[in-house]
Chain A
Amino acid sequence: MSYELIGMVVLWTFLFGYVIVASVDFGAGFFNAYSLITGKQHILTKVIQRYLSPVWEVTNVFLVFFFVGIIGFFPSTAYYYGSILLIPVSISIILLAIRGSYYAFETYGNKGHRGYAFMYGATGLILPASLSVVLTISEGGFVEMTDNGPFLDYWALFSSPLTWSIVVLSVTAVLYISAVFLTWYANRAGDFEATKVLRRYALIWALPTIVTAGGIVYELRSHNPEHFESLMNLWWMFAISIVFFLFSVWFIWKKKNYGVAFILLIGQFAFAFYAYGISKYPYLLYPHLTVHDGVTNDAMAISLIVAFVAGLLLLIPSLYLLMRLFLFDDKYVSGKK
C-alpha cells in the first residue's frame, strides 16, 4: 500500500468520524433551540445537555485532526485550499467559535440565555452548510489557476445547483443522524417522553436525507461526468447503504432496537461516504491536484504513520474510559450520577 493511499484512508476515516459526531452535536443544538420555541424545552434539554457537555471538545478534535493531517500528508493542499478558502473557512471558524463558547459559557457558566441558545442552534445548521462547500469545491469547475495562484470563482460556486444540493444534504443528514442518536440516548436514559419526540424527528428527516443524496448523484452526472462514472461503478456500495437505511428506519418505526438502528445508520453513512471517497480517488482538487502530486516525502509519511499508530494506542483506551463513564454508564445517562 502506498503512503498516499494509507494517508487518504486514515484522513477519510477521521473525516467520517467527524461527520458522525459533529452531526449528532450540530443537530442536538438545533433541536435544543427548536424545543425552546415550541415550548418542549423541559422534555429535550436535559437529555441533550447531559450527552453534549462531557464530549464537546472531542468533537472539535476530529476536525482539527483532519486538517492538520491533510496538511501533513498532502502539504500541497495547504497551498491550493489555503489560497482559495479564506472567506468560507473564516466563516466556519466564527461559527465554530460561537458553538465552542456556548458550551463554556452556558454549561459551566450561567443557565440559559435564550438568544445564545438560538444562535447556537442556528450555527448547527449553517456550519454543515459552510463546511460542505469545501467538498463541492473539490469537485472542480470553480477554481481557476492564475499567475497569482489558485483563484475561486464565487459566482460559479453559488449559482451551481450542485452546491445547493450538497448544502441541503448536509443539513438533512445532520438532523437525521442526530435525531436517531438522541432517540437511542433518550431511550437508554429511560426518558420516554423525549424518546417519543426525538423518534418523530428521526422519521421526519429520514426520507429527505435519502432523496437529497440521490439528488447529488444526479447533479454530479452533468457537473463532473468522470466522477459520476466511477461513482456508478460502485453502485453495490450504495445498494448496501440503502438496505442499511431501510432496516434502521424500520426499527425506529417499530419502536425497538434503537441501538441497532443507530449502528445501521453508521453503516449506511459509512458505505455511502467511502463509496464517494473511493470514486473521487485520486483527486484532491479536481483536476488540478491528485494525491500522487500532493503527497509528502517518504520520511515525513513514515513518521506521521508511526505517530498516528502510537497516538491511537494512547487514545483508544482513554476514549473507551470516557465512553464507559458517560455514554454507556446507565446510571450517568439516566441522571443518577
Chain B
Amino acid sequence: MLLFEDPVFSSRMLTLLTLTFHVIFATLGVGLPLMIMIAQWVGIKKNDLHYIMMARRWARGFVVLVAVGVVTGTAIGLQLALLWPNFMELAGHVIALPLFMEVFAFFFEAIFLGIYLYTWDRFENQRKHLLLLVPVAVGATMSAFFITTVNGFMNAPAGFNIVDGQMTGVSPIEAMFNVATPTKVAHVISTAFMTAAFVLAAIAAYRLIRGSNHVYHKKALHMTMKLGLIFAVATAIIGDFSGKYLAEHQPEKLAAAEWHFETEEEAPLILWGVLDDDQKVRYGIEIPYALSILAHNDPSAEVIGLNEFPEEEHPPMFVHYLFDIMITIGMWMIVLSLAYWFAMRRGWNFVKKNWFRWLIVLGGPLSMLAIQAGWWMTEFGRQPWILRGVMTVQEGATQSDYVGHMFFVFAGLYLILGIGVAVVLRKVFKNHPVEKELAEQGGDQS
C-alpha cells in the first residue's frame, strides 16, 4: 500500500487529514465570536433577552469547538515540523514571524474567552461584559490573518533571495505581506464569518422545523441569514479579486482550476463538465468571456493557458471540480439568503414553509463543504510545489518510517474527537432547552 511505502505520499495524506479536520473548527472558531458579539450587542441595545440568550448559548457551543480547534491546531503545528522538516527549516528562516505572532493572538483570545465565559453574572453593567468579547473576536481574526499570511507565502514566496544555495536578504515583513496575502486573508476571514452565520441559521431553521415555534429561533434565523447574506456577497467580491491575483501571479493554478489549456483572448469560464484525453471539455457549462473578466476585468483580455507550463509543474486536473463546488455553493448561498431576506421584507410566506427551511438547514453543511473545497483547491492547485518555484513537496517531506501508521492513528483520534464533539454539543443543548433557560432568566416575553 502506497500509504506505508512512500513517506512523501503519506506525509501529504496525513497533512490533508489533519488540516481538513482542523479547518472545520478553525473556521467556526474565527467566525463565531463575531456572531456572538453582534447578538449580545443587539440584545443590550434592544434590551431583548432573546439576543442575550443567543450569545450565551452560542458561546457555550463555541467553547467546545475552540477546545477541539486548540487540540487539532497543536497537532498541525507540530506535524508541520514532523512531516515537512526540510520545508520548516527553510520556512523558519523567512516566515517564522507570523507563526510566532499567531501564538500571541491565540493566547490573547484564550485569556479573554476564559474570563468572558466565567463572568456572565459578575458584572453589573452588561456592556462591560460585552467588551470582553472584543479581544476574543480580534484575537480570533488576527490568528486567521497570521496563519493565512504563511499560506500566502507558500503560494507567493517573497522576502528572501537564494544565491548559490545560501539564503540572503531576508525580510520577514516582506515575506508576510507577500502578493497573495491581501486576497487570501480577506477571503479566509469573510468565508469564516459567512460559514458561521449559515451554520447558526441552519440550527435555528432546524429547531423551527422540529416544531419549536419559539420567537427566539425566528429572531436567530432572521439575524444570521442577514449576516450570512452580507458576508456571502463580500466573499463573492473578494473571490473576484482572488481570480485577478491568480491570473497575475499564479496563472497555472487558475488555468488548472478552469481547465484552460491554450492561452487565448475572450476566454470563457467553464463550470463542471468532463475532460477527455485531448484536453477537450464535454458537458460543461460555458459562460462566454467570463474567465477574461474574472482574470482581468476585460472581456477581451488574454488569459494564460496551462500548456505554457512544463507538464511536471501541472497541478492535478481534479482541482477544477473543487473550484466548481466552491463557486456553486457560494452563489447558491447568495441566492438563498437573498430570497429569504427579500421574501421576509415582502411578507411572502414561502420562506416560512418547511421545504424552504430545509434548504436553509442544508446550507450549513454546504457552506462548510465550500470551505473544504476551497482549501483543497488552493493546496492541490499549488502542486507540485510546497513553496512555489523554490521547493517541491517531494523535497520538503520527511524520510521517516511509519508515517503511514501515524495516518491511521490520527484518523482514529479525529474520529473519536468528531463523535465526542457531536455527542457533547447535543447534550449541552438538549439538557438546557432554550425555553427552560429563558424562563429561568425570568424575562420570557413570548
Contact = CB atoms under 8 A, between A and B. Distances in A.
Interface of A: 53-55, 57-58, 60-61, 63-65, 67-69, 71-76, 78-87, 89-90, 92-94, 96-97, 100-101, 103-105, 108-110, 148-149, 296-297, 299-300, 303-304, 307-308, 311, 314-315, 318-319, 321-322, 325-326, 337
Contacts of A108: 60, 63-64, 67, 424, 428
Contacts of B93: 75, 296-297, 300
Contact of A65 (B81, B83, B103, B400): B103
Interface string B154-173: 00000000000001001111
A94 B74 contact: no
B173 A303 contact: yes
28 contacts: A55-B114, A57-B110, A61-B103, A68-B77, A68-B103, A71-B81, A71-B88, A71-B92, A72-B92, A75-B91, A96-B71, A100-B67, A100-B74, A105-B420, A105-B424, A108-B63, A110-B424, A297-B93, A297-B170, A299-B171, A300-B94, A303-B172, A304-B100, A311-B104, A315-B108, A318-B111, A318-B112, A322-B111
Contacts of B398: 82-83, 86
B344 interface: no
A166 to B, nearest CB: 21
Nearest to B89: A79
Nearest to A296: B93
Given A79-B89, A94-B409, 14 more contacts: A57-B113, A58-B110, A61-B103, A63-B74, A64-B73, A83-B85, A83-B399, A89-B78, A97-B75, A97-B413, A108-B428, A110-B424, A148-B399, A304-B96
Contacts of B91: 75
Contacts of A71: 81, 88, 92, 96, 99
Contacts of A61: 103, 106-107, 110
A109 B423 CA distance: 9
A318 B108 contact: yes
A65 B99 CA distance: 10
Sort A-B residue pairs by CB-CB distance and give the 10 closest, nearest first.
A75-B92, A104-B67, A82-B85, A72-B96, A78-B88, A82-B81, A109-B424, A311-B104, A57-B110, A100-B71
Contacts, number: 205
Contact of B400 (A75, A86, A101, A307): A86
A104 B65 CA distance: 8
Nearest to A321: B115
B135 interface: yes
Contacts of A149: 85, 399
Contact of B104 (A81, A96, A315): A315
A125 B409 CA distance: 21
A208 to B, nearest CB: 30
A325 B119 contact: yes
Contacts of B110: 57-58, 61
Contacts of B106: 61, 64
A305 B355 CA distance: 57
Interface in B394-446: 398-400, 402-403, 406, 409-410, 413, 417, 420, 424, 427-428, 431
A81 to B, nearest CB: 7
Given A67-B81, A104-B64, A319-B111, A78 B92 contact: yes
Contacts of B107: 58, 61, 65, 311, 315
A83 B81 CA distance: 8
A96 B119 CA distance: 27
Given A79-B85, A315-B107, A296 B114 contact: no
B209 to A, nearest CB: 25
B275 interface: no
Contacts of A321: 111, 115
Contacts of B400: 83-84, 86
A93 B75 contact: yes
